[in-house]
Chains A and B, each alone.
Chain A
Amino acid sequence: MWRSLDAVREWLSERTRSQFAWSLRTTPGVRFGGTVVCLLAVVAVFGPLVSPYDPTAQVLEARFEGPSLAHPLGTDALGRDVATRIVHGARVSLALAVAATAVRVVIGTTIGLLAGYVGGLVDTALMRLVDIQLAFPGLVLALVIAGVLGPSLRNVMIALSVVGWASYARVVRGNVLEVKDRPFVEAARLYGTPQRRIARRHLLPNVVNPVVVLATMNLGTIVLTAAGLSFLGLGAQPPTPEWGTMIAGGRDYLRSAPWIVTAPGIAIMATVIGFNVLGDGLRDVLDPDHLGERERGRS
């Protein structure tokens, strides 16, 4: 009897899964955004292997060369190939964004689960902590943390990890509050399921979708903020090829060699567009009620 019910359940979930995959593939935002993001990932992983130039070696006789066949995006003030540096920069930006987002998701989800499920004083205390975190304009706080720790790429990553988790905590808590008194959770509790198992098996799956949507959008925001911090001189230090640092390095030659500034900006924009469009598309599929909506753009 049980066995056959399980089989039915499996068949159902198999069916919804394929339906789900279909709706993912046919949503234009997911297709376009996903393609951009995949292309970027390919560039970040394989690009540096293809480029004939060294991203940091100075070639003084090749300074300020305009775009040409040899240097499709020109060279910078130290004769380095701009295109090569952008390709290497994709590695830096994507790795940083993924790492910082992962930390945010883990901290935020844990706090949100605890607050929502335990409730009471724990909830009040954690939510005050969230309010305090949201009280700081994100870039200002990240700038100060990175600056005090000392300018480096690693410290920007730390700063961006500890700054943006509050939005996840809010979304997760809201979802947990919604499902925690539903019959299936109640049943699990009456059945004597341990708390940790309830949290993992019954609550967590219900918060995955809004968290995935929020994280996708967040990847774009982090790329932007990290580039901004590096531009200010707090992140990647020269000669590391990083998009924000490249723009800062080219600003003195804006009139004579505009490509040094324009090209990395386009790379940043393309990346952020990819994540934004993908996030919008994923939201339409995964989070049709827009549960994560309130938290967009907060960090």
Chain B
Amino acid sequence: MLRALLSRLGSLTVVIAGVSLITYGLIYLTPGDPAHTILHERRGSSPSESEVAMFRAEHGLDEPFVIQYIEWLTGIFRGDLGTSYASSEPVTTLLLQYLPNTVELALAAMAVSLALSIPVGVVSAVHRDTWIDRTSQFAALLGISMPNFWLGYLLILLFALHLGLTPTSGSGTLAHLLLPAITLGTGLAAIVTRIVRTSMLEVLEEEYVDTARSKGVSERLVVYKHALRNALIPVVTIVGLQFGFVLNGAVVVEVVFQRPGLGTLLVDAVFARDYPIVQGVVLVTAVAFVITNQLVDLAYVALDPRIERGEHA
């Protein structure tokens, strides 16, 4: 067990190191010299040699790539991700400022999706191949296939503009959170509904469910106590693995609802070529994503004793 854990930790370190290298290296995809391009785009005209040199010196871009990368990397361990090109604010400060809003949105969306998907998935499985099942399966297909930014505007149109029930944009109150959470939660709910349904169907065919039935346990109790509990094990891991889906979606949804968060921070920084911010957001999301996936894997092992504790392919 310990050895498996250590080897896992080892490969995790390699992955995170690779992630940081790619994240830092991304800015060198800039057409031409980054300093020159940034200054040019900022002012709309070509900068002079000395201006470019000054910008490079100011932001450490005059060093060789390896030195720049190592300096950035060692900075991370001191909680320093550099400073924004535009506002000179430390990237760490900006991240800490915007992160809570995104976490709030992500958690609310997960809550919405579970509240929708578990009941719908269970009912769908229990009434397999009836119109109820078919309707909910079709709804799930719609949910998966719908662009979330579009759904966001439909919800704004209906609830904010026509009914006047919620604000169209911004953040701060529960009313501000409602539409973004539904927008982001719907896609997730669609995925999870399918998993709940499949998982439930499998469990309902297990022997212990038959045993419970033959012992005269009421059908309601069989479904909700015996079956549902076991059916939820794979659901936990799928929900965890959808963390990346939530992060992806949050970017777009935050833009639609003009919510300050990591997504809007990232998009604005990408357009402004404010690379320290871009690198900071990408690094934080990727590392968070990797670590969640690892935790989910561990949770899966802990939740289900039937799974071998070995390395999976």
Contact = CB atoms under 8 A, between A and B. Distances in A.
B267 interface: yes
B147 A148 contact: no
A66 B154 CA distance: 17
A251 B255 CA distance: 12
Interface on chain B toward A: helix, strand, loop, or mixed SS?
Answer: helix
Interface residues of B, number: 51
B201 to A, nearest CB: 14
Given A128-B11, A138-B244, A276-B141, A147 B270 contact: yes
Contacts, number: 144
Contact of A143 (B11, B30, B266): B266
B22 to A, nearest CB: 7
Q: Interface residues of A: mostly helix, strand, loop or mixed?
A: helix
Contacts of B11: 128, 131
A254 B153 contact: yes
A218 B88 CA distance: 40
B141 A143 contact: no
Given A233-B271, A269-B146, A137 B289 contact: yes
Given A177-B313, A254-B156, A137 B285 contact: yes
Interface stretch (A56-64, A69-77, A105-113, A255-263): A255-263
Contacts of A67: none
Interface string B247-289: 1110110010000000000110011010000100110011101
A150 B31 contact: yes
Interface stretch (A10-18, A179-187, A224-232): A224-232
A20 interface: no
Contacts of A174: 313
Which has the most chain A C-beta neighbours within 10 Å: B247, B248, B282? B248
A29 B19 CA distance: 39
Given A128-B11, A255-B157, A272 B286 contact: no
Contacts of A145: 26, 29
B149 A269 contact: no
A137 B247 contact: yes
A234 B270 contact: yes
B14 interface: yes
A137 B244 contact: yes
A246 to B, nearest CB: 10
Contacts of A148: 26-27, 29-30, 270, 273, 278
A135 interface: yes
Contacts of A151: 271
A139 interface: yes
Contacts of A254: 153, 156-157, 161
A136 B286 contact: yes
A251 B146 CA distance: 17
Contacts of A277: 141
B61 interface: no
A244 interface: yes
Interface of A: 128-129, 131-132, 135-141, 143-145, 147-151, 174, 177, 220, 224, 227-228, 231-234, 244, 247, 251, 254-255, 258, 261-262, 264-265, 268-269, 272-273, 276-277, 297-298
5 contacts: A131-B14, A139-B248, A139-B252, A232-B252, A232-B267
Given A135-B15, A228-B147, A276-B141, 18 more contacts: A129-B18, A135-B289, A137-B244, A137-B285, A143-B270, A144-B282, A148-B27, A148-B270, A149-B31, A231-B147, A231-B149, A247-B153, A255-B161, A262-B150, A265-B154, A269-B142, A269-B146, A273-B145
